[in-house]
């Protein structure tokens, strides 16, 4: 599936929350954390001011525990912004999804439950429709769950196709091996996933330069509608206004 004619490719800044701080992990390892800010709302407003049309927020504490540890921060971020927010981490039930959506978030990302209980995920997709995103986090082609600590046993393409049939409307795909490294995105695995589906894919992981973003944007005809960028924005390796202009004019 390709994007509709005239539909813009979206660059989505990421805010990862741990203990109320903006952090980034290296390859999903909680022991390899870098703190980039003490005020998530201030950071969110910065990305909006620099031109972001959407924000991606992850509750890293909830991803491990299943409890909405940073929900109050997510609510503050959503209230402070004019742009829509999507959030993931620990959303493993209808009630958890409802809490996040009631906090002002436009879309919730469900990952662990989708892999552990596809039938429950299917019911959620049927009820929430476009307000729910399928999150697929891959390690060596297999879906990882519970804050990336466990192997679900699912092949990425197999689970994606099953949940597309069950009503998933879009996918956020992360290759854990590249996440936080800045060494470049997993272009081939992203392209392969998008080509196997009729729903749009948002790429995540490995962005370390403007050229990396451009290369992901080149996958738009295959159905990749956007890319999530984290560490590269915080280090200054990528300047958001420049990246937005480059993709817009490509």
Q: Do strands 150-155 and 142-145 pair parallel, antiparallel, or not at all (unpaired)?
A: antiparallel
137 as an active site residue: the answer is yes
Cα 180 to chain center, whole Å?
13
Q: How far apart are CA 241 and CA 228, in angstroms?
A: 15
Closest by CA to 64, choosing from 177, 138, 145, 137, is: 145
The one catalytic residue among 16, 61, 175, 179: 16
Q: Which of 19, 29, 95, 137 is catalytic?
A: 137
Residue 138 near residue 173 (C-beta atoms within 8 A): yes
Q: How far apart are CA 228 and CA 97, in angstroms?
A: 21
Q: Tokens standing for 51? A: 């031109």
117 classed as catalytic:
no
Catalytic residues: 16, 137
């Amino acid at each position: 599936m390709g994007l509709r004619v005239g539909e813009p490719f979206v660059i989505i800044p990421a805010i990862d929350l741990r203990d109320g701080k903006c952090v980034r992990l290296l390859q999903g390892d909680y022991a390899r954390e870098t703190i980039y800010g003490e005020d998530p709302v201030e950071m969110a407003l910065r990305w909006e001011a620099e031109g972001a049309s959407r924000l991606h927020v992850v509750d890293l504490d909830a991803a491990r525990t299943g409890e909405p540890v940073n929900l109050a921060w997510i609510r503050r971020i959503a209230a402070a912004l004019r742009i829509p927010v999507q959030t993931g981490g620990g959303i493993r039930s209808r009630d958890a999804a409802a809490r996040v959506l009631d906090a002002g978030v436009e879309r919730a990302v469900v990952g662990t439950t989708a892999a552990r209980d596809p039938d429950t995920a299917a019911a959620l997709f049927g009820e929430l429709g476009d307000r729910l995103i399928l999150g697929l986090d891959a390690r060596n082609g297999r879906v990882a769950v519970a804050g990336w600590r466990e192997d679900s046993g699912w092949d990425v393409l197999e689970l994606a196709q099953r949940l597309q049939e069950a009503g998933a409307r879009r996918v956020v795909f992360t290759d854990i091996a590249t996440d936080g490294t800045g060494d470049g995105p997993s272009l081939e695995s992203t392209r392969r996933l998008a080509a196997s589906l009729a729903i749009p894919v948002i790429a995540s992981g490995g962005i370390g330069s403007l050229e990396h973003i451009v290369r992901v944007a080149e996958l738009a005809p295959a159905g990749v509608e956007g890319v999530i960028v984290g560490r590269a924005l915080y280090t200054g390796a990528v300047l958001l206004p420049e990246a937005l202009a480059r993709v817009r004019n490509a």
